[in-house]
Structure 1
Amino acid sequence: MNLISIADLTPEEILEVLDRADEMKARRNDPSRGEVLAAKSIAAIFEKPSTRTRVSLEVAMTELGGHALYLSSDDLQLGRGETVADTARVLSRYVHAIAARVYHHATVEELARYAAVPVINLLSDLEHPCQILADMMTMRERFGRLEGLKVAWVGDGNNVCNSTILAAALMGMEMVVASPPGFGPNGKILDQADRLGGGTVVVTDPVKAVCGADVVETDTWVSMGDEAEADRRKVAFQRYQVNSDLIRHAADEAIVLHCLPAHRGCEITDDVMDGPRSAILDQSENRLHSVKAVLERLMV
Structure 2
Amino acid sequence: MTTIQQLDVDLKGKDLLTLADLASEEIIGLIEKAVELKEKTLKKQFDHPLKGKILGMIFDKSSTRTRVSFEVGMIQLGGSALYLNGNDLQLGRGETIADTAQVLSQYLDGIMIRTFSHSSVEELAEHAAIPVINGLTDLYHPCQALADLLTVYEKKGKLAGLKLAYIGDGNNMAHSLMIACTKVGMDVSIAAPKEYFPDSAVTAKCEKFAEISGAKLVITDSPTEAVKDADIIYTDVWTSMGQEAENEQRLKAFHDYQVNEDLLDLAKKDYLFMHCLPAHRGEEVSAEVIDGPHSVVFDQAGNRLHAQKALLVEILKD
TM-score surpassing 0.5? yes
Partner amino acid, structure 2, of 1:162: H
The match for 1:33 is 46
1:75 alignment partner, SS class: coil
Query: 1:219 aligned to 2:232?
Result: no
Question: Within 5 A, what are the aligned runs for 1:1-300?
Answer: 1-30=14-43, 32-196=45-209, 197=211, 198=215, 200-300=217-317
Aligned counterparts of 1:204 and 1:279: Cα–Cα separation in 2: 25
Change (3 A) 1:47 1:132: same
Partner amino acid, structure 1, of 2:219: V
Aligned counterparts of 2:59 and 2:200: Cα–Cα separation in 1: 27
Aligned counterparts of 2:282 and 2:70: Cα–Cα separation in 1: 29
2:26 alignment partner, SS class: helix
Aligned counterparts of 2:148 and 2:245: Cα–Cα separation in 1: 29
1:70 alignment partner, SS class: strand
Gaps of 5+ in 2: 1-13
Partner amino acid, structure 1, of 2:108: V
Change (3 A) 1:87 1:214: same
TM-superposed deviation, 1:62: 0.5
Partner amino acid, structure 2, of 1:270: A
* 1:9-31 CA-partner distances (Å, limit 9, x unpaired): 11111111101111111110445
Gaps of 5+ in 1: none
Contact 1:190 1:199 in 2 (8 A): no
* 1:175-232 CA-partner distances (Å, limit 9, x unpaired): 1110012001111000001122255211111011101000000000000011111000
TM-score (normalised: structure 1):
0.98
Count of paired positions: 300
Partner amino acid, structure 1, of 2:199: N
Aligned counterparts of 1:233 and 1:226: Cα–Cα separation in 2: 9
2:87 alignment partner, SS class: helix
Partner amino acid, structure 1, of 2:296: A
* 1:218-272 CA-partner distances (Å, limit 9, x unpaired): 0000000111110000000010001111111100111010000001110011110
TM-score (normalised: structure 2):
0.93
* 1:34-86 CA-partner distances (Å, limit 9, x unpaired): 10111110110000000000000000001001111111122200000001110
1:137 alignment partner, SS class: helix
Sequence identity, in percent? 47
Partner amino acid, structure 2, of 1:69: L
Contact 1:193 1:199 in 2 (8 A): no
Contact 1:158 1:185 in 2 (8 A): yes
Aligned counterparts of 2:20 and 2:46: Cα–Cα separation in 1: 29
Aligned counterparts of 2:279 and 2:44: Cα–Cα separation in 1: 35
Partner amino acid, structure 1, of 2:281: R
Change (3 A) 1:30 1:142: closer
Partner amino acid, structure 2, of 1:171: V
Contact 2:139 2:171 in 1 (8 A): yes
Aligned counterparts of 1:194 and 1:188: Cα–Cα separation in 2: 10
